């Protein structure tokens, strides 16, 4: 972990395919979000680098910036079925921010070892100058993994 990347891990009692089913589904992202910013999503489950979906956001849950409700387009930047998914946000902010969120999923005794990561090391210099990163904390990533664990262990999934 660096000063511009957060990684957290958790073993989840579910097969990698069950975990990945939630992670590739836009509704799954909303279901497991611990920040409260993700309100709903529009789009189909992703299956390749370059796939996109829209997330309807509400920044007020963080209480840090008066942005209200807005939409972001999530663009898949890494995709390996049942192993890794990562994305960046496009189409809203100018210049494009360049931060990346993702998950790595590895088979483990009793289920899956899931690593959640948030990397802002390649953000655009204009955004770096604003000194607002990280937007999501290490604790929020840990909480999201807890919600993911509950979701797949209960068989409640995304949709």
Domains of the chain (ranges plus CATH)? 5-153 (3.30.530.20)
- Its pTM stands at 0.89
Nearest in space to 52 (alpha carbons), one of 37, 41, 38, 36: 41
CB-CB contact of 65 with 59 (8 Å): yes
Distance CA 115, CA 103 (A): 5
* Average pLDDT along the chain: 88
pLDDT band at 93 (very low <50, low <70, confident <90, very high): low
pLDDT tens column, 48-74: 999 999 999 886 666 566 667 878 999
**Tens-place pLDDT, residues 94-140:** 677 889 999 999 999 989 999 999 999 988 888 888 887 888 889 99
> E strands along the chain, which residues?
5-12, 38-42, 52-58, 69-80, 84-90, 100-108, 111-119
């Amino acid at each position: 972990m660096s000063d511009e990347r957060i990684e957290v891990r958790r073993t989840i009692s579910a097969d990698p395919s069950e975990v990945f089913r939630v992670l590739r589904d836009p509704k799954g992202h909303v279901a497991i979000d611990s920040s409260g910013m993700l309100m709903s999503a529009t789009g189909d489950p992703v299956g390749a680098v370059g796939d996109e979906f829209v997330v309807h956001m509400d920044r007020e849950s963080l209480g840090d910036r008066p942005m209200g409700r807005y939409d972001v387009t999530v663009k898949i930047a890494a995709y390996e079925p049942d192993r890794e998914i990562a994305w960046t946000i496009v189409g809203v902010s100018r210049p494009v921010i360049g931060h990346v969120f993702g998950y790595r999923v590895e088979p483990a005794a009793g289920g899956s070892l899931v690593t959640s990561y948030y990397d802002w090391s390649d953000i655009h210099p204009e955004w770096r100058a604003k000194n607002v990163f990280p937007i999501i904390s290490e604790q929020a990533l840990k909480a999201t993994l807890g919600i993911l664990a509950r979701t797949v262990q209960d068989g409640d999934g995304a949709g």
